[in-house]
């Protein structure tokens, strides 16, 4: 079965359009194919389909929804290799990481199958005699799901699985740069018996489709992963119809190494937190704060570890770091690094990438300060930007000195420090002695301008449910 689909999936049918968008391979810029640039009118048909299917899907039993999600979980795992190839083709991600991403996608399907069956309401003891207070959990209704290119499969799974579990219907718009890992969810829906209209996938101009979705009174919720800038636009556009929103936006993760930590272990965690998807993740370690006692050892070992990474095409099994998504992404990395060097930072490993290159080798820079754009903006590239610190209070202040608040990491086994970092780091997620913490059973999300709402965990399904108070006298 062909998994690369060049049509949109609306109301259970594959739909094309006259206008199309070309999809490029980030490695060599060759054209992989095209996808429809749907008109606003065509996007509205997807919204109508989601409305049409909403009542009957919302009325299915939790057992039915769980059973379909379990089928989807099995199907995704059975087709892991071709799905991973699709992710690598359009995102450039190393194939071994793409396999991990598809497995991660599957984990949300099984987790939310379980949550569908545990989305209990409750009966509250009433203060008035002869009264029963019921709290009934109902699906929010048709949802707009807008997703980015850096995890083109998983960001859809993380939203679509809880929506389906809760009894919501969906119009999903994957990123136009990586649409195929999104459109393939139409195949998954067909193969696993999801009723038509429950999941619709549309592609096209983001502004036009975005406005159609946010402007529609039928859509009751918008869930988005992407830049803070677009998140703010979508939130403003959703205000007119007072939609529910959940947003997972940018990050500026601190990675703190204390002087009690094992430097070898810290380097291992740092590599994991930095180099996944060539640093193009919202939870990527963006600012490394290393205690002065172990700073030089950490730098030496980090340079040695990064020099062993294989940079190349994502299709090669040996590749650790694939190309950045496009030339604009690479130009940003170059700009941030050049500005840092001009302001006094030093490149101690790797080189500042050449103009126009999307394949960027790892770079290690020391002498970075929190005021440099390299520390203020999300790098989204394979750059280890290192600052030195001496005092725990000072490093917490610096780590919190950002508008973002998604993930933070710290390497320490000192219980007092762990308690202090847990309490005082203004982040939605704090990982100790690990560089990888995201998992389906934990609530993922941010504070401040990193977003609203949580994906995964017990909290994840709540974003798609509305509590109705029923008073029986
Ligand atoms: P990034 O900077 O990581 O590419 P974006 O926020 O630009 O992230 O994109 C994430 C998603 O948001 C993609 O699906 C993209 O098509 C969509 N998008 C971008 N601009 C808009 C917009 N103005 N309205 C709605 N969606 C948009």
Catalytic residue (choose from 90, 101, 115, 248): 248
Catalytic residue (choose from 143, 172, 258, 282): 282
Share of the chain above pLDDT 70, in %: 100
User: What pLDDT, on the 0 to 100 scale, is given for residue 369?
Assistant: 98
Cα–ligand 1 centroid distance for 471 (angstroms): 43
Most ligand 1 atoms within 8 A of CB, residue of 40, 226, 281, 379 to mutate: 226
Cα–ligand 1 centroid distance for 176 (angstroms): 9
Average pLDDT of the chain, as a whole number:
98
Q: What is the mean pLDDT of residues 190-204?
A: 98
Q: Of the candidates 405, 403, 385, 387, which has an alpha carbon nearest to the alpha carbon of residue 395?
A: 387
Query: How do residues 66-99 score in pLDDT, each as one tens digit?
Result: 999 999 999 999 999 999 999 999 999 999 999 9
Query: Encoding tokens for residue 221?
Result: 């919720």
Q: Of the candidates 346, 362, 13, which has an alpha carbon nearest to the alpha carbon of residue 202?
A: 13
HSE on the CB side for 118, CA within 13 Å?
13
**Positive or negative, the Cα torsion across 306, 310, 311, 317?**
negative
Q: What is the mean pLDDT of residues 18-28?
A: 96
Cα–ligand 1 centroid distance for 227 (angstroms): 7
Share of the chain above pLDDT 90, in %: 99
The 10 Å CB-count burial string (b at 16+, else e) for 415-430 is eebbebbeeebbbbbb
Query: How do residues 284-325 score in pLDDT, each as one tens digit?
Result: 999 999 999 999 999 999 999 999 999 999 999 999 999 999
Q: What is the pTM of this model?
A: 0.98
The ligand 1 atom nearest the CA atom of 230? 6
Cα–ligand 1 centroid distance for 17 (angstroms): 21
- Catalytic residue flag (residue 168): no
Predicted confidence band of residue 41 (pLDDT cuts 50, 70, 90): very high
226 lines ligand 1 (CB under 6 A): yes
Q: What is the mean pLDDT of residues 201-210?
A: 98
- Catalytic residue flag (residue 143): no
User: What pLDDT, on the 0 to 100 scale, is given for residue 1?
Assistant: 83
Query: How do residues 450-471 score in pLDDT, each as one tens digit?
Result: 999 999 999 999 999 999 999 9
The ligand 1 atom nearest the CA atom of 209? 25
User: What pLDDT, on the 0 to 100 scale, is given for residue 356?
Assistant: 85
């Amino acid at each position: 079965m062909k998994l690369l689909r060049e049509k949109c999936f609306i109301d259970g049918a594959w739909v094309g359009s006259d206008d199309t968008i070309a999809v490029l391979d980030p490695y060599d810029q060759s054209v992989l194919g095209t996808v429809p640039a749907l008109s606003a009118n065509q996007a509205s048909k997807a919204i109508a389909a989601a409305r049409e299917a909403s009542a009957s899907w919302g009325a299915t039993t939790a057992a039915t929804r769980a059973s379909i999600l379990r089928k989807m979980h099995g199907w995704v795992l059975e087709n892991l290799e071709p799905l991973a190839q699709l992710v690598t083709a359009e995102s450039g991600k190393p194939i071994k990481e793409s396999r991990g991403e598809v497995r991660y996608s599957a984990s949300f399907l099984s987790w939310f199958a379980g949550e569908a069956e545990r989305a209990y309401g409750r009966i509250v003891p009433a203060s008035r005699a002869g009264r029963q207070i019921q709290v009934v959990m109902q699906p929010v209704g048709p949802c707009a799901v807008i997703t980015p290119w850096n995890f083109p499969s998983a960001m859809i799974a993380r939203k679509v699985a809880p929506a389906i579990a809760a009894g919501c219907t969906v119009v999903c718009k994957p990123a136009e740069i990586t649409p195929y890992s999104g459109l393939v969810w139409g195949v998954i829906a067909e193969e696993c018996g999801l009723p038509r209209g429950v999941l619709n996938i549309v592609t096209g101009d983001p502004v036009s489709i975005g406005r159609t979705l946010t402007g529609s009174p039928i859509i009751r919720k918008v869930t988005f992963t992407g830049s803070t800038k677009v998140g703010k636009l979508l939130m403003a556009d959703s205000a007119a119809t007072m939609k529910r929103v959940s947003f997972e936006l940018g990050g500026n993760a601190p990675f703190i190494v204390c002087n009690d930590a094992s430097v070898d272990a810290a380097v291992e965690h740092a590599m994991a937190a930095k180099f996944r998807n060539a640093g193009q993740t919202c939870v990527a370690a963006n600012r490394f704060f290393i205690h002065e006692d172990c700073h030089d050892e950490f730098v030496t070992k980090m340079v040695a570890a990064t020099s062993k990474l294989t940079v190349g095409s994502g299709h090669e099994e040996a590749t650790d770091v694939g190309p950045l998504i496009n030339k604009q992404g690479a130009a940003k990395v170059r700009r941030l690094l050049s500005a840092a060097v001009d302001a006094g930072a030093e490149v101690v490993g790797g080189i500042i990438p050449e103009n126009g290159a999307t394949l960027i080798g790892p770079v290690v820079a020391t002498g970075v300060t929190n005021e440099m754009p390299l520390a203020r903006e999300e790098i989204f590239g394979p750059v280890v930007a290192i600052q030195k610190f001496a005092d725990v209070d000072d490093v917490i202040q610096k780590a919190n000195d950002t508008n973002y608040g998604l993930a933070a990491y710290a390497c320490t086994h000192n219980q007092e420090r762990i308690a202090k970092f847990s309490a005082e780091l203004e982040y939605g997620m704090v990982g100790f002695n690990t560089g990888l913490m995201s998992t389906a059973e934990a609530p993922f999300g941010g504070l401040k301008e990193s977003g609203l709402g949580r994906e995964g965990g017990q909290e994840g399904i709540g974003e798609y449910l509305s509590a109705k108070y029923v008073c029986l006298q």
